[in-house]
Amino acid sequence: MDQTPNQDSDRTWAAVAHLAPIVGYFLLIGQILLPLAILLWGPKSAFVQGHAKESLNGQISYTLYGLALLLLALTVVGLVVAVPLALALVVLMLWNMVMGALAAGRGEFCRYALILRLVP
């Protein structure tokens, strides 16, 4: 994407779209609602919208992956596999969120690794 921020506030909103889900994890589904709120009610610049969509796609994907790991953990054998995968998922999630926020601060766009692109 060759979207460039129109002003400094666009970069700030884009970085918040990536980092707000950290706060949202303390609410039950807040990790999805916060990027969605920025997408729907935040600035309408293409730069902010692109970052909000990327963050939203990431959070939807991580939630689905976490639910799959929870189901896997319900079995004894699955628990042995699910715990290391859950730790890897947390590392991947934090890595993508921080890299996305840093890219937004530089006025660039960042694609999250290993996510489903459900919101076009």
Q: Is the dihedral of CA 23, 27, 31, 37 positive or negative?
A: negative
pTM (2 d.p.): 0.88
Tokens 């799959």 -> residue: 68
pLDDT band at 1 (very low <50, low <70, confident <90, very high): very low
Q: Which pLDDT score is estimated for 27?
A: 79
Q: What is the mean pLDDT of residues 18-27?
A: 88
Give per-residue pLDDT as tens, 62-97: 999 999 999 988 887 788 888 999 999 999 999 999
- CB-based contacts of 12, cutoff 8 Å, min separation 6: none
Q: Which pLDDT score is estimated for 2?
A: 45
Q: Which pLDDT score is estimated for 3?
A: 66
Q: Which pLDDT score is estimated for 26?
A: 84
Mean pLDDT of the chain: 90
